[in-house]
């Protein structure tokens, strides 16, 4: 698949001037390797990657990688990491590397040799600096990368000139990447693949045949993504397989701590740390009603954060036996029963993400949007406050298989206006902007009375 976007990330890496240290992290499959390889190709850098082998083997493999640029570097047996780093500094000081050096999957190295963290600190402070080396350390484990370089007590704390997380690609690129026609198709595809480039690459040969891609890649027991969540959890550093029951519970619809505890049979008071770990890994999102303090979070809900994982835990996880024993027609029937709800949930998320970027389409500029709910009161899909504090946005997200006609739009508008306003402190007396988010406007219609209509083309157009 063609390398798309990552302009901001590439510019951040370009800002590294010698000598300099960069640190980046991101969940597996998110595209760190591709970003770093493309950056090295453009800057003349050298990309190397560690694995989960024994310490001497790791040194030998990395020496072989360096030898591709520095002949003879792997002809020496390095007794420890200090000797390996000293040799690297000598070659860098004479310009043999030719550009930046990337060490990917550093957590594997530190896990097999904890003293390496302190050795890297000394290397960055002295030999690497004197050699004028630009060094980039990367890894999939946010926990371990923070423990190495970003936490206040980390060995490399304060030394990284560039440090950032590589996030999933924005949904606006999916239409181009998969060669899709209508914007609505991109929303439906995003409900299956999310923003993970590797999933996009696997789906690309299927083109616009979403059902065939979902069956071939996910539902079919022989598909490459049929066991994907188990691999993601097993590959974490440290391993996160013990968190799988929580994902099963949340994926099946439990969203409150008490509900999750009841499903897995654990005390509710014991869930704070494991749920926090899932949030840290980017697998679960903690959702708080608009206007409520994150500190209290008394009405917090937990949801699967990634669209692909939502699909997997809702469709695959509870039906593994059925999927193994069934032909494609039966597998797809299972998927079709869940498809509408999955696409609707993804559409809501995309609409909320787009609100701060839509600008004049909504009138005033608005800040981040969130859902709002409380007891038996009507729920709101989109609530946001204008940046100047003068207005509040109240929106509803509607998804249907066909573009709504004028009568349907009028009905939705009436339902929206009849809901009143949420009981959020500070919103009383402000101008209210109502918005309907729909897949497609009929005949290019935008206004519907005192209501703004935003469609998938608008939303995906700003999510790039």
**Within-domain flag for 97:** yes
What's residue 235's pLDDT?
76
Q: Quote the crossing angle between the two packed helices 81-93 and 116-125, to the nearest 10°.
A: 20
Residue length, the chain? 464
Is the domain of 231 the same as that of 84? no
What's residue 448's pLDDT?
52
**Within-domain flag for 1:** no
* Rounded Cα–Cα distance for residues 252 and 304 (Å): 10
Q: Can you read off the two tokens belonging to residue 141?
A: 């484990």
* Rounded Cα–Cα distance for residues 440 and 181 (Å): 13
Q: Which of 413, 419, 412, 397 is nearest to 450 (CA)?
A: 413
* Rounded Cα–Cα distance for residues 140 and 104 (Å): 9
The answer, yes or no, to whether residue 182 has pLDDT greater than 60, is yes
**Within-domain flag for 49:** yes
Q: Which of 422, 196, 396 is nearest to 305 (CA)?
A: 196
Is the domain of 296 the same as that of 178? yes
Is the domain of 355 the same as that of 446? yes
Higher-scoring residue by pLDDT: 206, 299: 206
The answer, yes or no, to whether residue 195 has pLDDT greater than 60, is yes
132-151 mean pLDDT: 89
Rounded to the nearest integer, the mean pLDDT of the chain is 91
60-77 mean pLDDT: 94
pLDDT tens sequence across 199-249: 999 999 999 999 999 999 999 999 999 999 988 888 776 778 889 999 999
Is the domain of 314 the same as that of 448? no
* Confidence tier at 92 by pLDDT (50, 70, 90): very high
**Within-domain flag for 106:** yes
What's residue 217's pLDDT?
97
**Within-domain flag for 2:** no
Percent of the chain with pLDDT over 90: 74
Is the domain of 177 the same as that of 296? yes
Rg of the Cα trace of the chain? Answer: 25
**Contact status, residue 26 vs residue 140, Cβ threshold 8 Å:** yes
What's residue 5's pLDDT?
84
Is the domain of 134 the same as that of 183? no
* Confidence tier at 292 by pLDDT (50, 70, 90): confident
What's residue 167's pLDDT?
93
CATH of the domain at 301: 1.10.10
The answer, yes or no, to whether residue 445 has pLDDT greater than 60, is no
**Within-domain flag for 441:** yes
* Confidence tier at 297 by pLDDT (50, 70, 90): low
* Rounded Cα–Cα distance for residues 392 and 412 (Å): 19
pLDDT tens sequence across 396-412: 999 987 778 888 888 99
* Rounded Cα–Cα distance for residues 164 and 16 (Å): 13
Last residue of a domain, one of 123, 148, 165: 165
Our count of domains for the chain comes to 3
76-91 mean pLDDT: 94
Is the domain of 68 the same as that of 210? no
C-alpha angle 225-231-232 in degrees, rounded to nearest 5: 100
Percent of the chain with pLDDT over 70: 97
The helix (run of H) or strand (run of E) holding residue 432 is: strand 431-438
Is the domain of 320 the same as that of 214? yes
**Within-domain flag for 208:** yes
Those residues with Cβ within 8 angstroms of residue 395's Cβ, 6 or more apart along the chain or in another chain: 351, 355, 369, 380, 381, 382, 383, 384, 416, 434, 435, 436, 437
Is the domain of 323 the same as that of 377? no
Last residue of a domain, one of 165, 191, 214: 165
Is the domain of 369 the same as that of 430? yes
Last residue of a domain, one of 312, 338, 364: 338
Is the domain of 195 the same as that of 114? no
Alpha helices in 266-400 (DSSP H): 272-280, 307-311, 320-325, 328-354
Look up the domain containing 280 and give its range.
172-338
pLDDT tens sequence across 344-398: 999 999 999 999 999 888 988 999 999 999 888 889 999 999 999 999 999 999 9
Q: Can you read off the two tokens belonging to residue 341?
A: 């709800």
**Within-domain flag for 361:** yes
């Amino acid at each position: 698949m063609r390398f798309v976007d990552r302009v901001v990330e590439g510019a951040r890496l370009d800002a590294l001037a010698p000598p300099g240290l960069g640190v980046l992290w991101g969940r597996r499959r998110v595209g760190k390797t591709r970003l770093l390889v493309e950056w090295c190709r453009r800057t003349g850098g050298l990309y190397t990657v560690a694995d989960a082998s024994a310490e001497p083997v790791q040194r030998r493999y990395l020496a072989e990688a360096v030898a591709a640029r520095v002949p003879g570097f792997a002809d020496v047996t390095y007794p420890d990491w200090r000797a390996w780093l000293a040799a690297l500094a000598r070659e860098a000081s004479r310009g043999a590397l030719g550009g930046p050096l990337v060490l990917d999957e550093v957590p594997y190295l530190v896990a097999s040799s904890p003293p390496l963290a302190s050795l890297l600190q000394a290397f960055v402070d002295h030999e690497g600096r004197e050699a004028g080396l630009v060094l980039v350390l990367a890894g999939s484990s946010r926990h371990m990368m923070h423990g190495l370089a970003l936490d206040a007590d980390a060995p490399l704390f304060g030394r990284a000139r560039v440090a950032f997380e590589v996030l999933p690609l924005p949904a606006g690129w999916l239409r181009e990447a998969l060669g899709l026609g209508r914007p609505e198709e991109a929303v439906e595809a995003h409900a299956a693949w999310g923003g993970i480039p590797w999933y996009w690459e696997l789906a690309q040969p299927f083109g616009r045949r979403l059902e065939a891609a979902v069956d071939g890649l996910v539902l079919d027991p022989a598909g490459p993504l049929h066991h994907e969540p188990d691999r993601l959890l097993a590959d974490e550093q440290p391993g996160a397989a013990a968190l799988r029951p929580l994902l099963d519970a949340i994926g099946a619809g439990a969203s409150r701590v008490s509900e999750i505890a009841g499903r897995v049979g654990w005390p509710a008071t014991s869930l704070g740390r494991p749920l926090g770990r899932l949030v840290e890994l980017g697998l679960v999102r903690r959702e708080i009603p608009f206007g409520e303090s994150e500190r209290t979070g008394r009405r917090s809900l937990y949801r699967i954060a990634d669209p692909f994982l939502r699909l997997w835990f809702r469709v695959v996880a509870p039906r593994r036996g059925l999927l193994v024993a069934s032909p494609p027609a039966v597998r797809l029937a299972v998927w079709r029963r869940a498809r509408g709800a999955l696409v609707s949930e993804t559409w809501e998320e995309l609409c909320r993400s787009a609100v701060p970027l839509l600008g004049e389409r909504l009138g005033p500029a608005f800040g981040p949007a969130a859902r709002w709910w409380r007891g038996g009161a009507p729920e709101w899909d989109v609530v946001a406050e204008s940046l100047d504090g003068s207005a509040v946005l109240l929106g509803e997200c509607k998804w249907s298989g066909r573009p709504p006609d004028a009568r349907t739009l009028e009905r939705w508008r009436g339902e929206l206006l009849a809901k009143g306003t949420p009981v959020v402190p500070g919103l009383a007396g402000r101008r209210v902007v109502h918005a309907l988010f729909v897949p497609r406007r009929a005949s290019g219609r935008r206004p519907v009375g005192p209501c703004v209509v935003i469609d998938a083309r608008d939303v995906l157009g700003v999510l790039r």
